[in-house]
Amino acid sequence: MKAIGGRICHLILLLLLLLSAGCGYRVTNPQTGCLGSARTVWVPFFTNESISPTAQTVLRRAFYDELHALRGLYPAESEARADLVMKARLVTYAGTTVSYNSLDQAFFNSLALDVELEIARAGELSPLWKGQLHGTHQYPSNSDLAKQRNAEEQAVEAVARNIAHSFISALEQSY
């Protein structure tokens, strides 16, 4: 009888230990913070003051993807049907060579984007967040023009995702 009581005591102690081990950890709720109960977002095509004809499209797609993945927001059918409305301007698209090989040929390039962003609740004049973000990504050079262009396109996608992620972080930190 004494052995059974000791086992129960050990089980209760083990259960309490397991329950207390996860204290302080919880799943984040995408509906909290400055986005509140927003379900949809409108991201227009970026005003493009850069030399790239395609970067604005890549940026727009990255913002939709990151806002959905990180905060559960869906693209709105139109600006009029959106809970949140963004304004965006691609200011700079700059590519530079950052390193050379022993034959003095380009070895690594860097791509930099500067984007001005603003987000507001639909129908409100004051923005939830407004600012400029900068992103860079390095990629290998290639003498084959097709491979070089492919590497640059992948760099644009990487920078766009980083800027979108930084935007969401800045938005939540400023609230």
Q: What is the pLDDT of residues 107-166, one digit of tens each?
A: 999 999 999 999 999 999 899 999 999 999 999 999 999 999 999 999 999 999 999 999
Higher pLDDT, 116 or 31: 116
Whole-number pLDDT of residue 30: 46
- CATH code at 30-174: 3.30.160.150
Q: Report how far residue 159's alpha carbon sits from residue 136's, in angstroms, rounded to the nearest whole number.
A: 6
Whole-number pLDDT of residue 170: 93
Whole-number pLDDT of residue 23: 46
0.85 exceeded by the pTM?
Answer: no
Whole-number pLDDT of residue 133: 97
Whole-number pLDDT of residue 174: 77
Higher pLDDT, 169 or 10: 169
Q: What is the pLDDT of residues 86-105, one digit of tens each?
A: 999 999 999 999 999 998 88
Whole-number pLDDT of residue 37: 85
Confidence of residue 34 (pLDDT cuts 50, 70, 90): low
Q: Interior CA angle at 92 toward 128 and 118, to 5°?
A: 10
Q: Report how far residue 43's alpha carbon sits from residue 85's, in angstroms, rounded to the nearest whole number.
A: 7
Scan for tokens 């129960």, then name that residue.
8
Average model confidence (pLDDT) across the chain: 86
| 51 burial via Cβ count (<10 Å: 0-12, 13-18, 19+) | exposed
Higher pLDDT, 35 or 139: 139
What is the residue-wise DSSP string for the chain? -HHHHHHHHHHHHHHHHHHHHTTT--PPPTTSGGGTT--EEE-PPPEE-SS-SSHHHHHHHHHHHHHHHHH--EE-SSGGG-SEEEEEEEEEEEEEEEEE-TTS-EEEEEEEEEEEEEEEETT-SS-SEEEEEEEEEEEE--SSHHHHHHHHHHHHHHHHHHHHHHHHHHHHHH-
